Amino acid sequence: MKYFISIDMEGITGLADYTFVDSSKHNYERARRIMTEEANVIIEGLLLKGAKDILVNDSHSKMNNLLVEDLHTEATLITGAVKPYSMVQSLDHTYEGAIFAGYHSRAGQPGVMSHSMTFGVRNMYINDVVIGELGFNAYVAGHFGVPVILVAGDDGACREAEALIPNITTVAVKESITRQAVKTLHPKKSQALLKEHVQKAVDNRHLVKPLTPPENPTLRIEFNNYGQAEWAALMPGTEIENGTTIVKFEAIDILEAYRAMLVQVELAMQTTFC
């Protein structure tokens, strides 16, 4: 009974804006404590359901946000970057289920701090399906036959999860008023909800199908400006679609598409604002 937890930060309880999720800002130390507590109650819930092996993958920014000394002793932690599979590093077929916590909605959608990987990205597509981080990560889990059984985050993230994955359990710990204002539960309240719902998610895990990715997927990333697309298209095998800021890449499988996406969004960040 192995479970995988990918935990991002923008969708953690009480966090309203970048003063919480940027490590140079004044609310960050508070935010990482709340994030660690949120991970711990999910771990506790899984242990109550007989989990024997829980891997937590820190999935925000520099990916070293969780306080290892305060994390539940029964979990193991992946911390730090760079990782070839980023938010789903080390997820494989041996897991019973995956849990995405602290998640946010994709770029261009309502939701607190909504984005897809970086602010250079307007949309990402696998074939004709528009996806954000949640969708891409769920496809990687699906590649290994692993269902995403629970998504926790703001209401936008929960809506996105429910649209993609039938029967998934979701926990909305806050409601976005705008992209940088939320109506939030108290952290203790959402911790109680998470502990309860993760157990429900384990009970219902056989009702959730893995999100199976297509074979030979076409990855298309729409960038916000043409300069970003030009940088991304330095990657061999890519091309810019005529008259757009969309960079196209034909992948062998979803794992190759994922790595291609990581390379392209990093390249696109080389543009200077002007």
> How many residues bind to Zn ion according to rule CB under 5 A?
4
Does a cis peptide bond (omega within 30 degrees of 0) precede residue 21? Answer: no
64 and 81 in contact (C-beta within 8 Å)?
A: yes
Query: Nearest to residue 72, comparing CAs of 36, 97, 103?
Result: 36
Residue 8 binds to Zn ion (criterion: CB under 5 A) = yes
Provide Rg for the chain, Cα atoms: 18
Smallest distance, Å, CB 60 to Zn ion? 4
Residue whose C-alpha is closest to residue 148's, from 193, 198, 191: 198
Instruction: Between 240 and 269, name the residue whose CB sits nearer to Zn ion.
Output: 269
**Beta-strand pair 129-131/121-126:** antiparallel
Query: Running DSSP on this structure, what letter comes out for residue 172?
Result: E
Nearer to Zn ion, 10 or 96 (CB): 10
Annotated active-site residue 115? The verdict is yes
Q: Which residue in the shown chain puts its C-beta closest to Zn ion?
A: 60
Closest CB 115 distance from Zn ion, rounded Å: 8
Q: How far are the Cα atoms of 116, 189, 231 from residue 123, in angstroms, in the given order? A: 7, 34, 16
d(CA 259, CA 128): 19
Q: Show contacts with Zn ion in window 164-183 (CB under 5 A).
A: none
CB of 220 to Zn ion, least distance (A): 22
- Who contacts 188 (Cβ-Cβ below 8 Å, separation ≥6)? none
| Distance in Å, CB of 10 to Zn ion, minimum | 5
φ and ψ of 128, to 5 deg: -100, 5
Could you tell me the two tokens for 255?
Answer: 């794992």
Find the catalytic residue in 60, 104, 115, 143.
115
CB of 132 to Zn ion, least distance (A): 11
Identity of the residue, 8 or 222, whose beta carbon is nearer to Zn ion in the bound complex: 8
User: Shortest approach of Zn ion to residue 57 CB, angstroms?
Assistant: 12
Q: Enumerate the H helices of 26-92 as residue ranges.
A: 28-48
Alpha carbon dihedral 103, 212, 197, 30, in 10-degree steps, equals -20
Pairing of strands 169-178, 218-223: unpaired
Q: Does 154 bind Zn ion (CB under 5 A)?
A: no
Nearer to Zn ion, 10 or 154 (CB): 10
Q: Which residue number, 249 or 258, has a Cβ lying nearer to Zn ion?
A: 258
Q: Using the minimum distance from each CB to Zn ion, give the nearer residue, 114 or 228.
A: 114
Q: 195 CB contacts (<8 Å, ≥6 apart)?
A: 41, 42, 44, 45
Contacts with Zn ion, 44-73, as mask; x by CB under 5 A: ----------------x-------------
Binding residues for Zn ion, rule: CB under 5 A, are 8-10, 60
Catalytic machinery residues = 115
